[in-house]
Amino acid sequence: MKNLVIILLLVNISIYAQQDAQYTNYMYNTININPAYAGSRGVTSIFGLHRTQWVGLDGAPVTNTLSVNSPIQNSNIGIGLSFVNDRIGASNESSISADVSYTIQTSNVYRLSAGLKGTVHLLNVDYTKLNRYNLNDPKFQNNIDNEFSPNIGAGVYFYSDKLYLGLSVPNFLETDLYSDNAMATSIERMHYYFIGGYVFDLSSSIQFKPAFMCKTTVGSPLQVDLSANFLFNEKFVLGAAWRWDAAVSFMAGFQVSQGLYIGYGYDLETTKLTNYNSGSHEIFLRFELLKKHERVVSPRFF
């Protein structure tokens, strides 16, 4: 039954649209979806994340990301570099992205950034990992090895120390990847992202930040993520989130030092898939290279 579910998922990918990698802690991982975020924290920021989705389900998604972004000193330019590896069933896709942003000061409090993203994708599909009930089916005869496809994206990001809003399209080019039998295996479609959040000071030691992310693409339903995080004494973060018609999530984080933050997220499915898995786990580290006597303005949840 588990393998059957995965095959159905892969068929859905082939017929409709390939979704970008899923993140529970999207509010910390903005650089992967919006190039205008590059350099917005004012320091060199290194971010690494590991996500294991639908634990216990054969062939379920496993995602690893690593990114670095930084402002260029004495300029309005920010730059970033990201690597993402996403494994789902028989497919293994890697992408490398380069980001550049330009920021203008719109007032004493707010800034507006615009960014561009350039990405290269490498797709591998090993059909021998599937339970093939018809070995003569031409759809599963030839593996895909390092299928290359480039892409470009763009975004805008409006922010202060308390608020952020972002709109982006990480991939503008819609690309069909084919096997040797000229059958569509993976279809990359444009994904539209709209994100936002605001930090409320509840007391001298507690901050509250609601946030949202809306994602849509042709051929797939609208995805809406709503989250609420509380920061205690600028050290501990506890929160929860709801993914519309998909999952509820719980999040925690700890500011180990001025430059190091560690976070964790757990998703519990609210769909029929909950019968086949024990949830999804996500852990990440953010390390920032602070100069001597330098301090990131608090609270920065993003």
Report mean pLDDT in 10-residue bins for the chain, 302 residues.
43 45 89 96 95 90 96 95 92 94 96 97 81 64 80 97 95 68 59 95 95 88 93 95 93 94 95 88 94 55 70
State residue 84's pLDDT score: 96
State residue 198's pLDDT score: 96
φ/ψ region of 223 (left if φ > 0, alpha if ψ in -120 to 50, else beta) reads beta
Q: Is residue 11 part of a domain?
A: no
Q: Is residue 66 part of a domain?
A: yes
State residue 224's pLDDT score: 94
Q: Is residue 73 part of a domain?
A: yes
Q: Is residue 224 part of a domain?
A: yes
- Per DSSP bridges, beta strands 280-289 and 44-52 are antiparallel
User: For the chain, what is the domain count?
Assistant: 1
State residue 16's pLDDT score: 38
Q: Is residue 33 part of a domain?
A: yes
State residue 118's pLDDT score: 97
Q: Is residue 115 part of a domain?
A: yes
State residue 17's pLDDT score: 38
State residue 10's pLDDT score: 44
**Domain span at 160:** 26-289
Q: Is residue 21 part of a domain?
A: no
Q: Is residue 12 part of a domain?
A: no
Dump the DSSP string for 108-143: SS-EEEEEEEEEEEEEEE-GGGS--S-TT-GGGSS-
**Contacts of 126-131 spanning 24+ positions with Cβ under 8 A:** 126/90, 126/92, 127/90, 128/90, 129/59, 129/89, 129/90, 130/3, 130/6, 130/7, 130/10, 130/89, 130/90, 131/3, 131/4, 131/7
- Domain with residue 227: its CATH number is 2.40.160.40
Strand ranges for the chain from DSSP E = 44-52, 62-71, 77-88, 91-105, 111-125, 144-159, 163-169, 175-178, 184-188, 191-198, 200-201, 206-217, 220-232, 236-243, 247-255, 260-269, 280-289
State residue 89's pLDDT score: 84
